[in-house]
């Protein structure tokens, strides 16, 4: 709990105004293309069954403590869900554990809107 207390105490106006806890989809793609980031989907299995991104690591928020070893400590972890609520919780958890986590605040529809032919041609998954 002391780690969480310290984490919260650092979330002052200066920290929040810098926005370093967030990452945009284009910023994530640039980092991913240089093998410096992964995308973490913390939505439920049911939500993921409806809409999924094969380039994202899917670990539902409630499974994160048991599956933490699946995440690399040497990459930025861009976290998303439907509304950024669960992403914010995951961000806090991962940050306390020493991960370089960022919240991808875009909604799932916004993410999908980035993925068009020109984008795909410039950013192949393989």
Alpha carbon distances (Å) from 49 to 23, 71, 84, 108: 25, 21, 19, 13
CA dihedral (10, 58, 107, 120) in degrees, to 10, reads 120
Answer with the residue of higher pLDDT: 85 or 66.
Answer: 66
Q: Is the pLDDT of residue 58 over 80?
A: yes
Q: Which helix (H) or strand (E) holds 40?
A: strand 37-41
Q: Is the pLDDT of residue 112 over 70?
A: yes
Query: What was the pLDDT predicted at 14?
Result: 76
Q: What is the pTM of this model?
A: 0.84
Span 59-73, average pLDDT: 98
Query: Distance (Å, rounded) from C-alpha 69 to C-alpha 34?
Result: 22
Angle at 39 between CA 38 and CA 45, to 5 degrees: 135
Angle at 13 between CA 78 and CA 27, to 5 degrees: 25
Span 9-22, average pLDDT: 77
- Count of CB atoms within 10 A of residue 97's CB? 14
What are the structure tokens assigned to 91, written together? 């961000």
Most confident of 10-19, 76-85, 100-109: 76-85
Span 18-34, average pLDDT: 89
For all residues of the chain together, what is the average pLDDT?
A: 87
Closest CA to 58 of 38, 75, 73, 72: 38
Domains of the chain: 21-122 (3.40.250.10)
pLDDT band at 101 (very low <50, low <70, confident <90, very high): very high
């Amino acid at each position: 709990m002391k780690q969480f207390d310290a984490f919260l105490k650092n979330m002052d106006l200066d920290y929040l105004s810098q926005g370093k806890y967030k990452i945009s989809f284009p910023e994530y793609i640039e980092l991913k293309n240089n093998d410096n980031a992964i995308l973490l989907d913390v939505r439920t299995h049911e939500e993921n069954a409806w809409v999924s991104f094969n380039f994202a690591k899917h670990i539902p928020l409630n499974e994160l403590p048991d599956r933490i070893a699946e995440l690399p400590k040497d990459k930025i972890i861009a976290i998303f869900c439907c509304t950024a609520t669960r992403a914010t919780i995951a961000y806090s958890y991962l940050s306390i554990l020493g991960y370089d986590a960022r919240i991808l605040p875009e909604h799932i529809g916004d993410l999908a809107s980035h993925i068009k032919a020109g984008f795909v041609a410039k950013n192949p998954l393989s």
